[in-house]
Structure 1
Amino acid sequence: MNGINGLDSCQQLLSTSASRISNLEHIVYDDSLDIEVKTEPMPLQDHEFHQNDKNNSDEMSLQREILRELRKINQRLDNVEAILLGQGPHLDRTPAKPSILPLNTVEEVAAFNKIDDATKKAVVSYLGYLGGSNVRESANLCIKETLSGDCVSQFTWLGRDIGRRPIGTPFYNTKLSAVILEAISSNRSYPVPTKTEYASHMKEALRVAKQRNRNQLLSKKRRTTDDEEDS
């Protein structure tokens, strides 16, 4: 391999590796993680560079510098790929449930509109972690985790019925709804829902949550009645 072609190959490999590490680190790393990336030299595989022109010390020095950078990049790639495969450090990435959840009153939902960016990020991360194999399942999980039973009973999606009569408090225009949409949109198990699809599933999720709350209240009432009869 002559000097010019050797440098071209090195630079092309460097560019390719840099692109790989940037893409993978964008997927794996976020501001909430403190991941130490080791950059100890690692032998390159499948890439050997031969220098025929021993007298051109400047060219050899440049190639050695590129090799060092490639080794660092490939070590970073190994670290990132190990994390993706579940073999690296910082495997316990389960986000804690934010203390602000669940919201218990309409007033708390209104106050949620003014949360700071850090709180928003924590809530999005937690709701995104809940998962769901489809939008409907994710919407149900998010509503269940964010609104208490008494609180959810106060909301409808639009705040009105088909005849446009006021019914409940509208949910569609709350900050919480926007946060849930962001979390659901981050789920890779299904395509990002359209606004219409999201609205449809959220209407259903609110309905299901209300019915669950009614069932729980009815069950509690029955237990109380049974206890009174036994006494």
Structure 2
Amino acid sequence: MYSRKRGLVIGFHGCDQEVRDEIVSQKLKNLKPSENLYDWLGNGIYFWKNNYDRALQYAKEIKKNPQKSTSRIETPSVLGAVIDLGYCMDLLDSNYLELLKIGYKLLTETNKKHGLEIPKNKPIEKNGDLLLRHLDCAVIETVHQFIKENKESNEFDSVRGVFFEGNELYKNAGFKEKNHIQIAIRNPNCIKGYFIPRILNEKYPKT
């Protein structure tokens, strides 16, 4: 009863400036969902929740290392969005974490039955963070597919998760330099509007 998310959130999407401008001017109607097998929240349009700086950092990283993404970025930019999470698989909520356990069980049983290997999460670099989330993506997509086929409940509009990424902020820290909350939008109608983020006016207090 209390797991439904209410209200609007602000999300930021790192992309090329041309894509940003075409979305805002409605030359493009919507962003293309990401469907990589390693996407850590499964298929969807990805946003950093209330984190403009991280979205811009990502866009700059892709320009510098284009092999890390299927997107082409010449001029790193950020697209803002006003989002209603709708029916959200919120991985900050214990109810949905339990659902992932069920999804993992279904995945392992199905793959074993068909003689398929279980996907694994992998780092891009040796001893790095597990950025290639093949297993997590497969588990989440298994949950979505099960719900769709069995109509156990409404299909999820979005998925939200928190990720711990990067170097420790200090020795023995529980915090890392790239910690963030990310959102994957599966239902594009959750996106109520796009905007070009404004630059802060330093003459006035932050609100």
TM, length-normalised to structure 2: 0.24
Q: Hey, which of these two has a bigger chunk of helix by percent?
A: 1
Q: Hey, which of these two has a bigger chunk of strand by percent?
A: 2
Larger of the two Rg values belongs to structure: 1
